[in-house]
Structure 1
C-alpha cells in the first residue's frame, strides 16, 4: 500500500513537511524518491506556503510509530513557524464623564482587559454639583430647618423656622418649652399654632393682615405609635405615607410613645452622606446588649419564652434613618445621616428605653457614645481611602441603595428640563403682583445671559 501527502498551491506541488517527517519514521509509507537538493527546496517552500493558508490533505495510518512521528513533526514545525505578535487589547477610556452619566469602573486581569461602566456619574461621592442636585431632589423633601411644637390640643405641628417678615431664624434652641415663638429681629411673635400674634409697627399699616403672615406650616402626621412624619413639599396636598412596615417593626420591638428618651448626640464626620448604606457598621448591637445584660437580672419566669425567642432587629427608612432594637432589653436606637456638604455629614443618634429599664440609662448611653465615636472614625477613614479617589466595589444591596438615590435625581432632572428652571419642592412662593413679576422676569433674563456667557446649563 502506498500513501502520500499532497499539497495544493495554485499549479505547483510540494510535499507536506508533516507527512514527510512522519513517512521517514514509518515503515508503512512509501514515499517517492527525489534528489536530495530537490527535497530541501520542496521542504523550505512547503514551510513558507503553510503560513499563507495552503490547503493540506494527508493520509496516514493510525499506528503507534506513526503517532510518535506525527508529534515529532509538529514539534519541528513549531520550532520554525513564524510567530506573529498580537497586541494586547486596550482598555476603554476611563476618563469619560457626563452629567449623571455612567462612570467607567475598570478592572483588568492577567489575560485580557475588561472595561465596565459604573451606573453612577463622575464625582458621585465628592462632587459639589451632584450635592446641589441632591439638595433639590432629596433634601428639600427630607431635611430642612423646621420647628416642631406640641400644641395645647395635644397635636404635633411643624413649621419652617423662619420669620415671615425678613426670613430670620425664629428659634435657635434644639428643644425647649414655650407658649410663644418670638423672632428677635423685629419682634414678630407666633403661638404654637404658627399664627402671628404680634407685629410691632405693622398693625396700623393699611392692608396688613396677620392671618396672611403665619409661619409656613409643614405637612405633619403622627401615627398610633407616636412616630412623627413630616413632608416638606410645598404643594397643598401630598400623598399619605405608607408606614405599615415601620409600624410592624415598632410593635414587635416595643417602640412606642411610652419609650423614654435616654440620650442623643451629633457626631460630625468627613464623608459623603450616601455612606448611609454603611450605617450597620456603626452600631455594635452585640456589645451594647452585653453591656445592658451585665447589669440586669435573670428574666422572670413569665417572660422566659420571650427572652429566648427575642432577637435584635434593624429597619431602614430611606434615605437617611435607621432603627435598631436590642434583644431582651427594651432598648432601641434611631440613627440618621444628615448632609452638611458634599464631603461632610452629621451623624445623629438617639437612644430610648422602656420605663422599667431607665435605671441603667447612663451606663448604656456612655457605651453607645463610645462605640459610635470609634466606628464613625473607622467609617471616615474608609471613605477617604476607598471612595474619594476611585469608584469603590459595592455589594448588590449597597448598589441597590445608590440606584434608588440615582432614580430620584434623574426624575428631578427630567422635571427641571420640562420646566426650564431649577425646582425646589419645599420653596414657598411669595405673593406676587405685576411689579414683582416684571422684576422676576428681568432677573431671569440676566441670569440666562450670565449662564450663556459663563458656562452651560447643568442639564
Structure 2
C-alpha cells in the first residue's frame, strides 16, 4: 500500500506519474454554486465521513446535532449502546426534530406538532393519526443514516439513502483503524475535553489543498509517536504535524500520548467553510503536558488561516485560472484534487445518463406513495423546462441547502 492510500485512507496504489506538471482544478471549482451542489451529491452524499468519537456519547440518550454541506443530522446513543444517526427532519412537516445543539433525552419530540421518536428512530407517537386508516407508524420513523464505529471508536457516517451504501466503509477505509501508528494507544483512556469552530470565507477545498501540502503523510510501518512536551511550542507543533493523517474528503486527525485532536472542514456554501475541532485528553496526562500539547496544536492549526482567505479572494476575482503543480513537492494536493475530480465527473456522467440530478441522500418513497411521486415528477418537469417552481430543491432533485453559517456547537 502506498503512502497515499495510507494518508488518505483510499485511492491509488502508487503515486501518479506525470509527463508534464499537472494543473490545479479550475478556479470556478472553488466558487461556483453549481459545482458546490454537484459536490454535495457526488462527494458528501456518497463517501464515508469521519465525524466524531463515541466518547461524546457516554450515557444512553446522549445526543449531538451536526451538519455538513447543508445536511443536518443527529447522533445519539440508544439503549443497546449503539450510536445511531438520523436526519434532523420530522417526518410530518419537515421541522427539525431537535433545535438545541446537544443533550440527553429518552425520546425525541418535534416541537411543531408533537410527533415523537425513540432513540432508535422509530415513530412512537403521532397525535390524531391513530384514527386514520392506513397510517403505518413503521413507515414514518426518522430518516436513518449509515453509521460505522471503527475499532478505535471513531464514528463514520454515510448519507447514501440505499439500504446498503454504494460505497461500503470497507471499500473506502478497510484497515485504516488497524494501522501500526495506532499501536499503544488505548482510546478508552481518553475523555472529551472541548471543541470549537472557526468560520472562514473560503471553499472547503482551499483549506484541504493547503493542509495536504503542509502536513506529512505516514507509511504503514509508522508506529506510536513520542512527543516531548518539554520542548518549545513550535517543536511540539512540528511533532504533532508529523503525527497527523488526512481522511478524505474533509477530516484530519492527530493522535498523541497526551491528547488526540479531530478537525473537520465543513462546507457551508460555495465560498464558506466552518472548521470544527474536537480535543480529547488522556486521563493520565498532567495539566502541564496537556496545556503544552493543546497550545502547540492551536499554533499548528492557526498558522495558515490568513492563507485560506487571501487565496480564496484571488480565486474568486475571475482572474486566476489553474496553476501548474510540482509533482514531487505537491503530490498530496495533486492526489486530493484528482479524487475530487474523479468523483464529480463520475457522478456527472451518472446524471447525464439519468437525464437529471441524482441525490443519493434523498430518502426513498414507499411504493404506495404514487401521488407524491406524481407531484415530484410534475415539479421536476417544470424545473427542466425553465427554472420551475423550486429549482429542484424542494421536490425531486433533493434537499435544499441548510443555512450558510449553520452553527455546530460542541457540548461537553
TM value normalised by structure 2: 0.69
Residue by residue over 1:151-196, the C-alpha shift from the partner in whole angstroms, topping out at 9 and shown as x without a partner, is: 1111111111111111111112332211111111111111111111
Partner residue of 1:170? 97
**Is residue 2:310 matched to residue 1:381?**
yes
Partner of 1:44: none
Separation in 2, partners of 1:149, 1:225: 18
* Partner secondary structure for residue 444 of structure 1: helix
Q: CA deviation at 1:387?
A: 7.1
- Does structure 1 retain, via aligned residues, the 8 Å contact 2:200–2:274? yes
Structure 2 matches for 1:22-41, cutoff 5 A? none
Match of 2:155 in 1: 228
Aligned pair partner of 2:268 in 340, 346, 364: 340
Cα 1:208–1:439 change in 2 (3 A) is same
Do residues 244 (structure 1) and 175 (structure 2) align? yes
Alignment of 1:272-291 (within 5 A): 272-275=203-206, 276-279=208-211
Q: Decide whether aligned partners of structure 1 residues 188 and 252 sit closer, same or farther in structure 2, where only a CA change above 3 A counts.
A: same
User: Which residue does the alignment assign to 2:9?
Assistant: none
- Is the deviation greater in 232-241 or in 375-384? 375-384
Q: Tell me, what secondary structure is at the counterpart of 2:179? A: helix
Aligned partner of 1:266 in structure 2 is 197
Q: CA separation of 1:310/1:207 partners in 2, compared to 1, >3 Å: closer, same or farther?
A: closer
Residue by residue over 1:383-435, the C-alpha shift from the partner in whole angstroms, topping out at 9 and shown as x without a partner, is 33467541344343112211110000000011101111100001002335443
Structure 1 segment 59-74 matched on structure 2, within 5 A: none
**What's the offset of the Cα at 1:206?**
1.8
SS at match of 2:379: helix
Write the distance in 1 (CA, Å) between the matches of 2:101 and 2:362: 23
* Structure 1 pair 449–215 and aligned structure 2 pair: CA distance change class (3 A): same
Deviates more, 1:399-408 or 1:133-142: 133-142
Could you report, residue by residue, the CA deviation over 1:208-239 in whole angstroms, capped at 9, with x for unpaired residues?
Answer: 22222111111112122111222110111132
Query: What CA distance in whole angstroms lies between the structure 1 residues aligned with 2:185 and 2:134?
Result: 53
Greater RCO, 1 or 2 (C-alpha within 8 Å, sep 6+): 2
Picking from 113, 118, 125, the partner of 1:186 is 113
Structure 1 residues 122 and 280, CA gap change in structure 2 (3 angstroms): closer
Tell me, yes or no, if the aligned pair for 2:23 and 2:323 is still in contact at 8 Å: no
- Deviation, structure 1 residue 353: 2.5
Task: Please report how far the alpha carbon of residue 282 of structure 1 lies from its aligned counterpart in structure 2 after TM superposition.
Answer: 8.4
Q: 433-442 or 312-321, which moves further after superposition? A: 433-442
Distance 1:386 1:437, change over 3 A: closer
CA distance in 1, matches of 2:240, 2:298: 24
* Cα pair distance change 1:340/1:176, threshold 3 Å: same
The separation in 1 between residues aligned to 2:148 and 2:265, in whole angstroms, is 22
Higher helix share: 1
2:42 alignment partner, one of 118, 137, 158: 137
Q: 8 Å contact 1:249–1:315 — kept in the other structure?
A: no
In the alignment, which of 153, 158, 162 is matched to residue 85 of structure 2? Answer: 158
Contact 2:24 2:323 in 1 (8 A): no
Distance in 2 separating the partners of 1:197 and 1:442: 33
* Cα shift readout 1:345-380 (whole Å, capped 9, x = no counterpart): 111111222111163446654664465345323432
Assess, with a 3 A threshold, how the Cα gap between structure 1 residues 179 and 249 changes in structure 2: closer, same or farther. Answer: farther
**Other structure's SS at 1:417 match:** helix
Aligned-pair distance for 1:445? 3.0
- Range with greater deviation from structure 2 (270-279 or 417-426): 270-279
CA offsets per residue over residues 19-65 of structure 1, 9 Å max, x none? xxxxxxxxxxxxxxxxxxxxxxxxxxxxxxxxxxxxxxxxxxxxxxx
Distance in structure 2 (CA, Å) of the matches to 1:179 and 1:218: 20
Task: Tell me which residue corresponds to 2:379.
Answer: 443
Q: 1:416 touches 1:423 (CA, 8 Å); kept in 2?
A: yes
Show the 5 A alignment for 1:26-425.
118=23, 120-121=25-26, 123-141=28-46, 142=49, 143=68, 144-238=71-165, 239-241=168-170, 242-248=173-179, 251-252=182-183, 254=185, 256-275=187-206, 276-279=208-211, 292-293=229-230, 312-326=242-256, 329-357=257-285, 359-360=287-288, 361=290, 364-365=293-294, 368-369=297-298, 372-373=301-302, 375-385=304-314, 389-390=319-320, 391-396=322-327, 397=331, 398-425=333-360
Distance 1:127 1:310 in 2: 34
- Matched-pair contact (CA < 8 Å) for 2:24–2:337: no
Number of corresponding residues: 320
Stretches of structure 2 that go unaligned for 5 or more consecutive residues are: 1-19, 50-67, 217-226, 233-238, 392-412
1:430 is matched with 365
5+ residue gaps, structure 1:
1-114, 296-308
**RMSD of Structure 2 on Structure 1 (CA):** 3.3
Structure 2 distance, partners of 1:249, 1:382, is 36
Distance 1:336 1:263, change over 3 A: same
- Give the whole-Å Cα distance in 2 for the aligned partners of 1:249 and 1:175: 34
